[in-house]
Structure 1
Amino acid sequence: MKENKVQIEGMQANVLPLSMDANFFFERAVSSLDRNRYDKALKYFRKAVEYEPGNPVNHCNMAGILSEMGDYEASNAVLSAILQDIDPSMTECYFYMANNYANMEQFEAAEEALISYLEEDEGGQFLAEAEEMMDLLQYELQRPTKLKSVKSREGMIEHDLARELLEEGKFVQAVKLLEDIVAKHPDFLAARNNLALGYYYQGLFPEAMDAIHGVLEQDASNLHGLCNLSVFLQREGNVEELDKLRKLLRIVVPFHQEHLFKLATTMGILGEHEAAYTHFRRLLKDQEANGDHTLYHYAAVAAYNTGRCSVARALWQQLKRLDPGSGISSFYLNRMDDYELHGQYPPISYHYNLPFEEQLRHPEKWENGFPPEIRDNPLIRSSFFWALRHGDHHTKLQVIQALRLIADREVEEALLAFLLVPEEDVYLKDMAVLVLRSLGVKGPVPVWKDGTTTLVDPSQIGSSLPVWRSEWQAVIDLAVKRIGKISDLQLQHDIETLWVDFLTRLYPDIPAMAHIEGWAAALDYLTAKKHCKAITYEEVAKRYGISASTASKYARRVNQVCNSEESTNRTFPFVQ
């Protein structure tokens, strides 16, 4: 007996105490789950919660078991308690709640919970699943969701929109959006790259260089940044720096399709046509990329520019089958025929559109505005903005007239910015104001003139007169209408200038305006003469349905008062 007692005491000494804590019940719960015993798993998770009521993971596990058991309301009650009382940062609970509501077919509540998840969760752990659920809810609710932003993709949605705006040629809008993105996310290099391009397309060259240097300061090997910088250096004429960068880009062999396309187009712009051709041929072999018909044009241009005319012709023929409606392939095939006929082979641009000069060869066709293929073409829009900032006087005048035919918010903002450039010619600013008036801009706009900023109201024509009467305006309206060229902004400007000068000199003893056709004919005739246009009194009289002697009488009267050869050279008196 004594020996047995000693043995039992020794056994008791080796027994380990059972630790009844949260971990113990958690492990039991997991073991029950492995055996699909959800009832026991729920009991153990509840015990874990009792031992650690402040641990949100235990509560979340309990909510998960309740959901698996089909008790969605109880699951959501637990999840709601986590967010309200324990840990509001556990934003994944919103996603779990959305699942529960969807299973209960409470789709409005599911949408609300899912939006909360997407707008508040930074990690995006369930982003793919959430997007699938959003598609389901849109189908069930038969309307788009009310989602405003995705926090885990903060800046991405806005960046996608900005990129679309750039592709549409809406550079001002794109730049504003990209500036906001970069201010909030300085390390978002794709946005910085596109911001640099947005500045460049608007002709804001110093801003473009600053933006691209900002990219390369953070990532010196950023391929998009290096490609953009090379184009900017070419525009700047910095041969030394460009040669260094060109040598680097020649040896780059990108793996990703996006990088390969960027490098190929860049090398083409730089005149490195052999490298461009190699990269474009690689892209054509890619099954995903070769469905893009524009790629065949780029490859054809590179082939042509490297002397591979037969290859170029074959690629354009293939493009003609893929995109028969554009007319681009036919244009370049015909141009190749002309080149071969004359034995001259000038380089061809890589841009996928008809050449700029070809589209604008007959401006009289666009009296009622440019068609969408011209108006919305980003290359043409960029060319206009560049010329407005960097062209000579004549080019800027042509651009201002052309912008009148595009007539959108981008044009309005570009012209408003143009009015504030100190070194710009006053006459050109007068033309810009005239276009702003045609766009319906009302109220004063700031204009830099004579060393100061002056507010000008585009709608006020005779601003130097104390009144402006309807019959005076009727004369201008008739003359402008009968000249019949909406694109000739100079004629309209000079007609208005001459008429205001005539009225100002005579005021207040202005003659009666009973015969507006005679006064309009006089303005038409004198302005045409100023522009060295061949015109007779008989021709202008026929235009207004009056006699030649009547047209002559009114023209002599205006000329006598104004000495029009001198006065029509003065600028329009917009400034109040």
Structure 2
Amino acid sequence: MKKNRIRMEDMPANVLRLSMDANFFFERAVYSLDRNRYDKALKYFRKAVEYEPGNPVNHCNMAGILSEMGDYEASNAVLSAILQDIDPSMTECYFYMANNYANMEQFEAAEEALIMYLQEDAGGQFLAEAEEMMELLQYELGRPAQLKSIKAREGMIEHELAREWLEEGKFAQAVKQLEEIVAKDPDFLAARNNLALGYYYLGLFPQAMEAIEEVLKRDAGNLHGLCNLAIFLQREGNTAALDKLRGLLRIVVPFHQEHLFKLATTMGILGEHATAYVHFRRLLQDHEVNRDPVLYHYAAAAAYNSGRYPAARALWQQLVKLDPGSDIASFYLNRMDDAGRQGEYPSINYHYNLPFEEQLKHPEKWKNGFPPEIRDNPLIRSSFFWALRHGDSRTKLQVIQALGLIADQEVEEALLAFLLVPEEDEYLKDIAVLVLRSLGVKGPVPVRKGGATIMVDPGKIGSGLPVWRSEWQAVVDLAVKRIGKTTDLRLRHNIETLWVDFLTRLYPDIPAMAHIEGWAAALDYLTAKMHRKSLTYEEVAKRYGISPSTASRYARRMSQVCNVQGRDDTFLFVQ
């Protein structure tokens, strides 16, 4: 008997058609999973794969079921097929494979898969679990893993290093590193914030403002960005914008420790000492940081600057116990006692160090270079770099000489940049070249002079003479050597300037240089007189191992040629 077949078009309109597609089987699989029917779930996931063989999610679900059922090899075969044939970007498959290998106690294979996950997965969805598994594998294998990088943390290690450089005062190095990080990841806001600070410390104010504006363009409520902007506005003197932002920051109550510390220090810099004190007191209640001597000093400074003198005294007294090897707390306690006797309480700095002027009361101690507490102090370094760009001529001269005592790669880069600033005084550039020479910089360096960039060799004295003979150089080298290492680079510069002046006036009829000690003594004596330094012919003769009459003869000859009579140091250099 022939059965009657019902055609689809003859079905009543109120009968729902059953759509047999991948979604249908996926839903049936999930339904079976909820009831712990793994065999049925696996069957339905396989059907979903048949309907959509190019969908990696279906394959991944099937691999997950196989793993739950204990068939780790089959699961890894599916995961491997996903990576090889369907979607290599599904890097989480490496993490699943590592789990399967670990369950099979194939720890080396698990380590290999886990390393692939950490080095290839940018999202970091299972980053915490992967790091925990890596510790387990290192224990099982008895050795550390050969892990070169973690892609999900790309830039984090570099950023941490740049932060360390900022804290050490190595601003140029930090800025280079942060520029590279931001170029690779424009949305790395912490790096942008620190880049803005790096520019600021180097005195590159327009670049600092541009960097912080980029931060706030991407996240208008970024607290670090707002705090940095407030400091920059204060430096710029933009009172209207600063007052508006200051009012906003007054009512912010951060909960995270890092945000609280940033806001507290910012309010202190802005002169909002009462608000700063409230935030610092909150931090002192945090058991994770309440033994930090720096925090006690900040809180004491905020208390003192806001008129809470008993609270300030108590905090500094506590600091004496926390940091007994430091003189900082004792210094400020004594200063507060002096202020109390005088009835005036001038504001103090928040930085946890003795005031710069206190450290430099005896500059003769630093002839051979600054001690680490000065050389590596980021506040001092940043003030030097800032003054080099924004100070007056006298300040810049002092800074250039001080940088010669710091003498590191950061200083070298700052001075090389200074030589290329068109509007800087050429005399100051000459002094900068002298410092570079003392730092051992060899080979020509570019210097912007007279609207053009010229190449200057720091190892050689610049002059307009068509030749520069080795015996001429020997004279000035001897004079510089005998005066000893001095912080007064003007004296050294004037020795060179006077010598070039003397040779230029006589050229080409320059006398023989058989007696370099006599000429060096003459340079030493005459420049000392121009600097109003007390020096006799007997003293200078003893210094060079010649007779006083010889020193006098050479000095008179040089004085006649260069008309040194009546000249002083203002003739040779700008104050």
Give the residue type in structure 2 aligned to 1:368: N
Given that residues 26 and 48 in structure 1 are in contact (C-alpha distance below 8 angstroms), is that contact kept between their aligned partners in structure 2?
no
Alignment coverage as a number of residue pairs: 556
Measured at CA, do residues 149 and 429 of structure 1 come closer, stay the same or move farther in structure 2, by a change above 3 Å?
Answer: farther
Measured at CA, do residues 491 and 157 of structure 1 come closer, stay the same or move farther in structure 2, by a change above 3 Å?
Answer: same
| Displacement after TM superposition at 1:512 (Å) | 4.1
Measured at CA, do residues 110 and 21 of structure 1 come closer, stay the same or move farther in structure 2, by a change above 3 Å?
Answer: closer
Q: Distance in 1 between matches of 2:427 and 2:21?
A: 90
- 1:397 pairs with 2:397: yes
Q: Could you tell which deviates more after superposition, 199-208 or 297-306? A: 199-208
| Displacement after TM superposition at 1:489 (Å) | 1.4
| Displacement after TM superposition at 1:400 (Å) | 0.5
**Match runs of 1:18-57 below 5 Å:** 53-57=53-57
- 1:283 pairs with 2:270: no
The equivalent residue for 2:148 is: 147
Give the residue type in structure 2 aligned to 1:208: A
Given that residues 367 and 485 in structure 1 are in contact (C-alpha distance below 8 angstroms), is that contact kept between their aligned partners in structure 2?
yes
Given that residues 444 and 457 in structure 1 are in contact (C-alpha distance below 8 angstroms), is that contact kept between their aligned partners in structure 2?
yes
Q: Distance in 2 between matches of 1:240 and 1:57?
A: 56
The equivalent residue for 1:378 is: 378
Unpaired segments ≥5 residues, structure 2: 1-16
The equivalent residue for 1:243 is: 243
Q: Distance in 1 between matches of 2:183 and 2:330?
A: 46
The equivalent residue for 2:262 is: 262
- 1:231 pairs with 2:231: yes
Unpaired segments ≥5 residues, structure 1: 1-15
Q: Could you tell which deviates more after superposition, 351-360 or 320-329? A: 320-329
SS in 2 for 1:348: coil
Given that residues 444 and 458 in structure 1 are in contact (C-alpha distance below 8 angstroms), is that contact kept between their aligned partners in structure 2?
yes
Q: Distance in 2 between matches of 1:137 and 1:503?
A: 76
SS in 1 for 2:453: strand
Q: Distance in 2 between matches of 1:397 and 1:177?
A: 29
Q: Could you tell which deviates more after superposition, 204-213 or 62-71? A: 62-71
Q: Could you tell which deviates more after superposition, 48-57 or 262-271? A: 48-57
- Quote the RMSD (CA, aligned, Å): 3.4
Give me the TM-score of the superposition, normalised by structure 2.
0.85
Q: Distance in 2 between matches of 1:465 and 1:98?
A: 74
Give the residue type in structure 1 aligned to 2:424: E
Give the residue type in structure 2 aligned to 1:122: A
Measured at CA, do residues 131 and 17 of structure 1 come closer, stay the same or move farther in structure 2, by a change above 3 Å?
Answer: closer
The equivalent residue for 2:330 is: 330
Q: Distance in 1 between matches of 2:182 and 2:396?
A: 32
Q: Could you tell which deviates more after superposition, 187-196 or 485-494? A: 187-196
Q: Distance in 1 between matches of 2:384 and 2:70?
A: 64
| Displacement after TM superposition at 1:28 (Å) | 6.8
**Match runs of 1:21-420 below 5 Å:** 53-64=53-64, 75-100=75-100, 110-135=110-135, 140=141, 142=143, 145-150=146-151, 152-420=152-420
Given that residues 201 and 382 in structure 2 are in contact (C-alpha distance below 8 angstroms), is that contact kept between their aligned partners in structure 1?
yes
Deviations 1:297-340 (A, max 9, x none): 00101111122222212211211222223322122223223333
The equivalent residue for 2:12 is: none
Deviations 1:47-75 (A, max 9, x none): 76566543434443454466567776655
Q: Distance in 1 between matches of 2:494 and 2:21?
A: 97
| Displacement after TM superposition at 1:91 (Å) | 0.7
| Displacement after TM superposition at 1:384 (Å) | 0.3
Q: Distance in 1 between matches of 2:411 and 2:138?
A: 37
Q: Distance in 2 between matches of 1:176 and 1:45?
A: 52
Measured at CA, do residues 215 and 331 of structure 1 come closer, stay the same or move farther in structure 2, by a change above 3 Å?
Answer: same
SS in 2 for 1:291: coil
Given that residues 22 and 47 in structure 1 are in contact (C-alpha distance below 8 angstroms), is that contact kept between their aligned partners in structure 2?
no
Q: Distance in 1 between matches of 2:438 and 2:104?
A: 58
Given that residues 518 and 554 in structure 2 are in contact (C-alpha distance below 8 angstroms), is that contact kept between their aligned partners in structure 1?
yes
Q: Could you tell which deviates more after superposition, 310-319 or 52-61? A: 52-61
Give the residue type in structure 2 aligned to 1:253: V
Give the residue type in structure 2 aligned to 1:494: N
Given that residues 505 and 562 in structure 2 are in contact (C-alpha distance below 8 angstroms), is that contact kept between their aligned partners in structure 1?
yes
Q: Distance in 1 between matches of 2:153 and 2:473?
A: 56
Give the residue type in structure 2 aligned to 1:148: S
Give me the TM-score of the superposition, normalised by structure 1.
0.85
SS in 1 for 2:370: coil
Q: Distance in 2 between matches of 1:335 and 1:245?
A: 33
Given that residues 94 and 114 in structure 1 are in contact (C-alpha distance below 8 angstroms), is that contact kept between their aligned partners in structure 2?
yes
Measured at CA, do residues 223 and 28 of structure 1 come closer, stay the same or move farther in structure 2, by a change above 3 Å?
Answer: closer
Q: Distance in 1 between matches of 2:446 and 2:105?
A: 58
| Displacement after TM superposition at 1:442 (Å) | 2.6
Q: Distance in 2 between matches of 1:32 and 1:205?
A: 61
Q: Could you tell which deviates more after superposition, 474-483 or 414-423? A: 474-483
The equivalent residue for 1:434 is: 434
Given that residues 482 and 543 in structure 1 are in contact (C-alpha distance below 8 angstroms), is that contact kept between their aligned partners in structure 2?
yes
Measured at CA, do residues 115 and 563 of structure 1 come closer, stay the same or move farther in structure 2, by a change above 3 Å?
Answer: farther
